[in-house]
Amino acid sequence: MGFLAAIGVLLVLYFIIYICLLLITDCDLGLLWALYFGKSLRKLQGKVIWITGASSGIGEFMAVEFAKNGAKVILSARSEMNLQRVKGRCIEVGASGDNISILAFDVTNMQKHESVFQKAVKCFGKLDILVNNAGRSQRASWEYIDYAVDKEIFLLNVFSAVSLSRLAVKYFETTGIAGQIAVTSSLAGLFPAPYSASYNGSKHAIHGYFKTLTIEKIDSQISVTLLCPGPVFSNFLSQCFTENPGEIFGKNVSEDDRRMETSRCAYLSAVAIVNRVDEAWMGLFPIIPLTYIIVYYPNITKFFLKYIGNRRIMKLRDSRQTVTVVTR
């Protein structure tokens, strides 16, 4: 076999392996490598990790994962009662109660960020990792969304994370700590889904803000990790914004829906964080191969989206047999 023929065979084998991996994995290939060959979660032992939106869903399960692996965890959300429940879960998996601190506050109250940040640092004397997890999704028709909803979603999903992260970056630079900013974004931050314009916009904005931070700090010890889950079991549908201010979508996730388990998403997120992965994609088949196609082959994507239609996209996105499409 000639040299060029050998190269051709290797390339074919490479693409076959690449495609096969995409068909069986529930995360992107960079995260998959970190999962099997990267740092152990035990490297989190002794790290001080502050999680916003820690009272339920992905934030709650991340807190349990961090605590189980020896981290000192600061839990934040609006409900102190729910945070106490999460603290109890952390203790159940072996964490010391002294290593779990509760700091209840509303992340949208920007005026309190400076004082709350100082309290967070005082909990354990330092901060290593800030996990911006607070946020809500949306179901609404583009043309009927009230501007007040746009502002409320951006305040919660984007500006609260940016504000706390700026305080954290200044703190890391002042103290010399090789700190890390993690942000729970979404695959909707890479490509938009129908009937969620404000939410999609907020997640795209997160990528714009934090990828800029990544570039600016590329020569420093500070790292940024964008967590991008697809459909996950949580209470997100019931708490979704709609097109109207003060209104929630109010639908419940069904046990029959095809979604990633919250515990699995939290575990993959923890792997991404401990390995300082820049961007992590997570989702059950066919989410990951579709994400690769949509991101890297936009012309194919345009044809694909026209062919399948919004209703099928929503079925894939909400992973359920019946789909509620928001129209008037």
What tens digit of pLDDT does each residue of 201-258 get? 999 999 999 999 999 999 999 999 999 999 998 777 788 999 999 999 988 777 777 7
What tens digit of pLDDT does each residue of 273-288 get? 999 999 999 999 989 9
29: its two tokens: 């290939």
Question: What residues have CB less than 8 Å from 298, skipping those under 6 apart?
Answer: none
Q: Is-cis flag, bond preceding 245, omega within 30?
A: no
Neighbour count for residue 13 (Cβ, 10 Å) = 10
User: How far are the Cα atoms of 144, 193, 201, 239, 310 from residue 141, in angstroms, in the given order?
Assistant: 6, 11, 14, 17, 12
Residue 12 has pLDDT above 90, yes or no: no
pTM of the model: 0.92
Three-state secondary structure string covering the chain: CCHHHHHHHHHHHHHHHHHHHHHHCCECHHHHHHHHHCCCHHHHCCCEEEEECCCCHHHHHHHHHHHHCCCEEEEECCCHHHHHHHHHHHHHCCCCHHHEEECCCCCCCHHHHHHHHHHHHHHHCCCCEEEECCCCCECCCHHHCCHHHHHHHHHHHHHHHHHHHHHHHHHHHHHCCCCEEEEECCHHHCCCCCCCHHHHHHHHHHHHHHHHHHHHCCCCCCEEEEEEECCECCCCCCCCECCCCCCECCCCCCCCCCCECHHHHHHHHHHHHHCCCCEEEECCCCHHHHHHHHHHCHHHHHHHHHHHHHHHHHHHHHCCCCCCCCCC
| Inter-residue contact 197 to 140 (CB < 8 Å) | yes
| Catalytic, out of 36, 147, 195, 199 | 199
What tens digit of pLDDT does each residue of 313-326 get? 666 666 554 444 44
What tens digit of pLDDT does each residue of 155-211 get? 999 999 999 999 999 999 999 999 999 999 999 999 888 899 999 999 999 999 999
CA–CA gap between residue 238 and residue 251 (Å, rounded): 5
CA–CA gap between residue 43 and residue 30 (Å, rounded): 19
Instruction: Quickly tell me which residue has 């965890």 as its tokens.
Output: 73
Instruction: Give the mean model confidence (pLDDT) for residues 121-138.
Output: 97
| Inter-residue contact 282 to 265 (CB < 8 Å) | yes
58: its two tokens: 């992905």
**Closest CA relative to residue 68, chosen from 50, 94, 46, 87:** 94
Instruction: Please say if 267 is a catalytic residue.
Output: no
